[in-house]
Structure 1
Amino acid sequence: METSLTKVLVVDDDPALRQLLADYLNRHGYDTLLAPDASDLESRIQRYHPQLIVLDRMLPDGDGVDACRRLRDMGEDIPIVVLTGRDETGDKITGLQAGADDYLGKPFDPRELLARIEAVLRRKKGASALLRQQPVHFGPFTFDPITRQLARAGVNIKLTGGEINLLEALVANPGKPLSRERLLALARDDEHGERNDRAIDIAVLRLRRAIEDDPKQPRWIQTVWGVGYRFSP
């Protein structure tokens, strides 16, 4: 069942701690997902689209900081709070340099973790809102997210609502490969009943015809084989 609650994915090999955090975060209005290790982290991200990850540093199948670094190298910008029993300054710096948004040593009070989660989400929301207000320029095109209008050299281009939704989702994630499933979640097209991979492929084709010099060799909206599509400004 779909939920409007903020999804938090907790990745920790301690089942007692996982359940404690799940119960605590759920009581405070979050939808908590659980994982015991890093092996299926990427698949859970693609399937459940969490808004934040609580990631243990010491996992049975690797270092959580390495997992964080891999996600950032893939272009994934989900906020990550790293948990660790190694609370030295050098370890914190390593985690932050790997792309973690915050770093919390064990043992910790769940209230502190909750406060850090909420602070990270506030920062993320504020940054995202600011970016969404800025016009995006690529080649001769300008996309204004406030008016939801695409123009080429100052001349407006007529697009459907679904095509605008798709373009908005792509330009909000420059350089980041987005799966068809993720695009379906981001680019909700209420004009059509189709909600499947084929619908996304058709919408991408139409959008390419509107903005690409050669839709068969796209410059702006590129296919990422085995994944989906990427906006490359």
Structure 2
Amino acid sequence: MMQKILFEERDLERAAEVTRFFERHLVSLSVRAPMTFDSDTAPYRAADAILLSLGADASEVARYVSYVCPQVTCPIIVVSDRVLSDIEALKILESGASDCLASPYCDRVLLARVRARVRRNIIVRARMRPQNYRFDKFGLDTQSRELLTARSSARLPRKECTLLMHFMLNNHAAITREELLEVVSAEDLDLSDRSIDSLVSRLRERLVAMGGRAEIIRTIRGFGYAFESTVEPIAGDEDLRALL
């Protein structure tokens, strides 16, 4: 599913610039005025991550983060257009922020930090409550690594399951080969870009062999891949096969 990021920023020109960049990478960014959590909490609770622009005193932002953090389940990332002192950064991180990014930085680094924090949050929450997924004509049992259709099943090798999980959690987003390499590198430190291509090909062939569409994993020439399917989370205690 497309990631939904909420960005508190008073500089509308800067907000528009970041929004355009994120949207080019298929990430939805909604902009709010600073420190407006209490005016409408719903967008904050629905967000996959919250970006807070440091436009005020670091102590004031830290107090705000410590107030918002217990009321949301997503990571909060503070960004500053100036260099922060160690004391300021510590205040912000100790208040509950997941990350603190200070100038100089580029929007590509900001996007990578956001995706990394969202990914980590998803992994932590998934460990707390096992969750399966349904997409296209398939289901994935994340505990057993079993890929299911209404009439067949196959147990995925660990690296293929890791790859498929990352695709599903970032569906419709353009994902670089470098990002995929980072995701599966924990399984095999010797993986290369070419190995990633081979791994994607094996996963695609498996999906096709079980009746899926080859274009469900779209190759983006010179960049990476995109997973073109709607993904639905399914509670771990539901009968996954009965839903296919």
Q: TM-score range by the shorter chain?
A: 0.5 to 0.7
Query: C-alpha distance in 2, partners of 1:145/1:222?
Result: 23
In structure 2, distance between residues paired with 1:107 and 1:221: 44
Please state whether the residue corresponding to 1:208 is helix, strand or coil: helix
Match in the other structure for 1:27: none
C-alpha offsets along residues 27-63 of structure 1, whole Å, 9 cap, x if unaligned? Answer: xxxxxxxxxxxxxxxxxxxxxxxxx99997659xx62
In the alignment of these two chains, the number of paired residues is 169
Partners of 1:105 and 1:194 in 2: CA distance = 40
Q: Are 1:56 and 1:64, in contact at CA under 8 Å, matched by a contact in 2?
A: yes
**Residue 69 of structure 2 corresponds to which residue in structure 1?**
119
Q: For the residues of structure 1 that align with 2:225 and 2:63, how far apart are their CA atoms?
A: 34
Question: What does 1:30-109 correspond to in 2, within 5 Å?
Answer: 58=11, 63-76=14-27, 101-103=50-52, 106-109=55-58
Report the residue type matching 1:107 in the other structure: A
Deviations 1:205-229 (A, max 9, x none): 11111002699x8221111223201
1:214-233 equivalences in 2 (<5 Å): 218-233=214-229
Per-residue deviation, 1:169:
1.1
Q: Pick the aligned partner of 1:134 from 131, 136, 161.
A: 131
Q: SS in structure 2 opposite 1:147?
A: coil
Distance in 1 (alpha carbons) for counterparts of 2:34 and 2:216: 44
Task: Tell me the equivalent position of 2:141.
Answer: 144
**One-letter amino acid of the structure 2 residue matched with residue 119 of structure 1:** C
Contact 1:57 / 1:65 at 8 angstroms: preserved in 2? no
**Secondary structure at 1:107 match in 2:** coil
SS at match of 1:123: coil
5+ residue gaps, structure 1: 1-51
Answer with 122-131 or 218-227: which moved more. Answer: 122-131
Give the Cα–Cα distance (whole angstroms) in 2 for the partners of residues 116 and 175 of structure 1: 31
Higher relative contact order (CA 8 A, sep 6+): 2
TM-score normalised by structure 1 residue count: 0.54
Report the RMSD for the aligned CA atoms in angstroms: 4.4
Residue 30 (structure 1) aligns with: none
**3-state SS, counterpart of residue 74 of structure 2:** helix
